[in-house]
Structure 1
Amino acid sequence: MFDSKLLETIRAMTPDEISDFSDSAYYHDKRNRKEISLLFRYITLDHPACSRADLKKEHTHRHLFGSKPYVENRLNHVMTALLRLLETYLEHRFSGAGDEMRHLMALNRFYQERGLLHRFELTTNRLEELLAAAKPQNEDTIWLRFRLEYLKHLQVGQYNPKSVDMNLFPVLDNLEKYYITQRLLLSAGLLEQSRFHRLDTSRTLSIFRQLSENGEFKTYSDTDPLIAIHYKLLPLLTDEADLNYVNDYRELLKSMRRDLAPQHLKALHTFVRNYLVRAYNRGSSETLSILFDNLKEEYEQGFLKEDNQMYRASTVQNVVTTALKLKQFDFVRSFLENCRDRITGTSQPENIIVFNEANYFFHTGRLDDALETNFHLL
């Protein structure tokens, strides 16, 4: 069961996505078999770690069907039905609104070019509603805003040439927003890499500073979440922030969680973590507790996983070491259980668990238990 497509899909979902699915019409559709919701709750609530040891087909069958004799196909039917339901929900969540906007944008271009004014206005109104409600915000929605304003500009020029110049400003504003967003995303990544590679980032840093001093840029940051969160990132990338600034930035990041795409949230949490690691390595011991809080949040949001939903061996080691220094023993135990069967980046992933479990037992004074792991024989 652990290697099933269903478990692979659930492990890949974030806590917000799991919560959103459980509140959705897909989950509460009265046509669904009751065993579907029972299975989903059994996995996500009773066994959120999704470990191989906990989720066995026989135990799951007993939970769903009580004393009925074990029939594997009976359970497989429920697993398949839940997987299809999840995939339908995920398809809507990840492509529904975006596909509708792209579809309407293509129609809008046709209506504008062929002079179908009424239909152009209807699709424009619908697009503006979708763009205003779009969450999370990303560079795609900013680009679509620019394209919509450009079509509106062409439409005005076609029927009212005298006002076409005034109508050009929203087009340029949205184009500049898109340019700034892309510049920030690429520059932030390059500046962060410079901490680990010998890269000349002087030009990138200079442009980043010019943007942050630009009045129009600050205006954009007041209205666009993706620009706003990167607007305040520079002090962390250049080691100019103090701990109060880091804490304020983390709170801002938390408050904007639903406004930003997961890949941007993951990158921003990584920037914060790397800043705290550098500060701790320079002797700032007070950063350790903040570093742990950031790691814990990354873990809970699924940001510590690789794209294949596995944990790198170095990540596991860093999390355990940080938590043990702060005597977060319950967290370490739970974290290691969740990482079992999910470690990559080493030819012997089982040894990572053994060494870290032994380290956990040493820190908790359970020397006999540490010896029973046989870490000394590896």
Structure 2
Amino acid sequence: MKNTRIAEILKTFTEKELKGFGDFVSSKYFNQSDKIVKLFEILSKYYPDFEGDELEKEKVFVKLFGKKKYEDEKMRTLISNLMKLCKKYLIQLDIESNASRTNLHLLNQLKDRGQKSLFDYEYNKLNSALEQNCYKEREYFFVKYYMEQEMYYSNPTSINDNYLQQPLIEKVSNNFEILFLIDALEINYNKLTRKSKVNYNPEFIFLDVIKSKIENGDYSEIPIIPLKYYIFMCVQNPMQEEYYAQAEKIFYDNLERISPHEKPYINTGLINYCWLRVGTGDVKYFRKVFEMYKIGLEEGIYFYENKYLLNSLFNGIVKCACYLKEYKWLFQFIHEYKNKIDPEHRKEIVNVAYSKYYFEIKDFDTALKHVNKINPTNSLLKLEIKVLTIKILYELNYLESVYSSIDSLKHFFRNNKLLHPGTIEQGYACSKAFKKLCDLKIKKDKKELEFFRKSINESNELGMINTRWITEKIDEILK
């Protein structure tokens, strides 16, 4: 039984859930078989790993039936029945995890049984709870839509009475429309983000209808709808900044009205757009993305569903603070959040951060010490460290080592064909530019230096961070 489905699903249970499942299995309402109760008791002793020779089916059979001859079909039936109970228990857990949806089932039962007075009481109680405790987002409108449907059908006279029918069906309609808008925007955004990752040309759901509804309607009381819409539009139309401006304003103005569940997705969507603009050379978006990161940290957004700060977020924050020369803030950030990185990657991520920090404040020896502590397994991180090492060696005036490291970088690209073509293209451009910088540092040809300076600033093929650094080095040579 070690590798059975029931063992695998029980491995995911918390101690509290396992105890609850034991009570569930022991309940005569759900289970009439004492053998299934005994089977669960045997299994539960091996929680949480469910490993050991004693879990072989033949040995478990002996514990259940004594010295009777082993019957595989009987054993399989018991395991199957325990699995059926486990599925019912999972359904029960899901129902109990959401009080509002649980009450929808109650309303449905009261409606079907013609208990109008009690129905109205429970309807009003649920409505009051929603207004007091629920953000006006998907869950709110999902429950509202279904409870208004139950109300409509709970009143038999409304079906034939136009006077009663109109306000009831309008409530159903309005809540359905808002629920549809939220879901359609979510689906369209997911389609859009996958478009850039794979060869995929999606057809969006009722996009013209959604656009007309939102741009001509008043959704100030439901900020999640215009937020999702404007984030979709700014990613779809990255050069039309007005969409981002709208989304940013709504986000900042409605922080208290956006749920902890939605905040990470909205914040990340806005951050992704900012980095998209940074990639086009628009320097002002470094400040915008920095402020988004700060809000995310201050609001605890990044820890709502994650125990640790994601590596990509940590690296993005460090990169952004370095470019903006927010060194005091950056040092404090690394110190405060370094222990909130997943322990599996903590050493390399923190050393990368410190190496960048010390590089920026021109303590190149300390920066190099931190680089030497890093043994990255991720190809993108390897690339980042190779580029940073070249810069540090240049600053320390180890030009021979710089030339050697540039050759190593080219070799790295030849052996990493799985990297994104754009990354490889930029990497080769950086290799060429670093070599040119070293050559001109030795040669000190003013005319060539000025031409080099102009060409890298016009092309933006090196990325803004590398372009700025090389420009600064050219200016130092020209002094």
TM-score (norm 2): 0.52
User: Distance in 2 between the 1:374 and 1:173 partners?
Assistant: 58
Deviation at 1:265, TM superposition (A): 1.6
Distance 1:312 1:111, change over 3 A: closer
Determine whether 1:211 maps to 2:210. Answer: yes
Deviation at 1:268, TM superposition (A): 1.4
Deviation at 1:114, TM superposition (A): 2.5
TM-score (norm 1): 0.64
Distance 1:194 1:331, change over 3 A: farther
* Deviation larger for 265-274 or 219-228: 219-228
Question: Percent of aligned pairs with the same residue?
Answer: 15
Question: Which residue of the partner structure matches residue 428 of structure 2?
Answer: none
Equivalent positions of 1:45-64 (< 5 A) are none
**Cα-to-partner distance string for 1:6-43 (whole Å, 9 max, x where unaligned):** xxxxxxxxxxxxxxxxxxxxxxxxxxxxxxxxxxxxxx
User: Distance in 2 between the 1:301 and 1:376 partners?
Assistant: 33
Distance 1:100 1:355, change over 3 A: closer
- Structure whose CA Rg is larger: 2
SS state at 2:135 partner: coil
Q: Which amino acid aligns with 1:121?
A: D
**Cα-to-partner distance string for 1:100-159 (whole Å, 9 max, x where unaligned):** 433443333333222333222222222222222333233222111111111121123347
| Cα contact 2:230–2:244 (8 A) shared by 1 | no
**RMSD (CA atoms):** 3.2
Question: Which residue of the partner structure matches residue 285 of structure 2?
Answer: 287
Equivalent positions of 1:81-100 (< 5 A) are 99-100=98-99
Q: Which amino acid aligns with 2:127?
A: E
SS state at 1:172 partner: helix
User: Distance in 2 between the 1:115 and 1:347 partners?
Assistant: 59
Question: Which residue of the partner structure matches residue 351 of structure 1?
Answer: 348
SS state at 1:106 partner: helix
Equivalent positions of 1:150-189 (< 5 A) are 150-158=149-157, 161-163=160-162, 165-166=165-166, 167-189=168-190
Distance 1:350 1:304, change over 3 A: same
Structure 2 residue aligned with 1:262, among 250, 260, 263? Answer: 260
| Cα contact 2:231–2:244 (8 A) shared by 1 | no
User: Distance in 2 between the 1:100 and 1:157 partners?
Assistant: 27
Question: Gaps spanning 5+ residues in structure 1: where?
Answer: 1-94
User: Distance in 2 between the 1:260 and 1:139 partners?
Assistant: 11
Distance 1:114 1:192, change over 3 A: same
Question: Gaps spanning 5+ residues in structure 2: where?
Answer: 1-93, 376-479
Deviation at 1:315, TM superposition (A): 2.9
Question: Which residue of the partner structure matches residue 252 of structure 1?
Answer: 250
User: Distance in 1 between the 2:299 and 2:223 partners?
Assistant: 19
**Cα-to-partner distance string for 1:254-293 (whole Å, 9 max, x where unaligned):** 2322322323221111111111111111111121111111
**Cα-to-partner distance string for 1:40-67 (whole Å, 9 max, x where unaligned):** xxxxxxxxxxxxxxxxxxxxxxxxxxxx
Question: Which residue of the partner structure matches residue 295 of structure 2?
Answer: 297
User: Distance in 1 between the 2:338 and 2:217 partners?
Assistant: 47
| Cα contact 2:290–2:321 (8 A) shared by 1 | yes
Equivalent residues, number: 280
User: Distance in 2 between the 1:98 and 1:376 partners?
Assistant: 46
User: Distance in 1 between the 2:176 and 2:365 partners?
Assistant: 65
Equivalent positions of 1:59-208 (< 5 A) are 99-158=98-157, 161-163=160-162, 165-166=165-166, 167-201=168-202, 203-204=203-204, 207-208=206-207
User: Distance in 2 between the 1:178 and 1:377 partners?
Assistant: 48
User: Distance in 1 between the 2:240 and 2:351 partners?
Assistant: 37
Deviation at 1:362, TM superposition (A): 2.0
Question: Which residue of the partner structure matches residue 364 of structure 1?
Answer: 361
| Cα contact 1:135–1:258 (8 A) shared by 2 | no
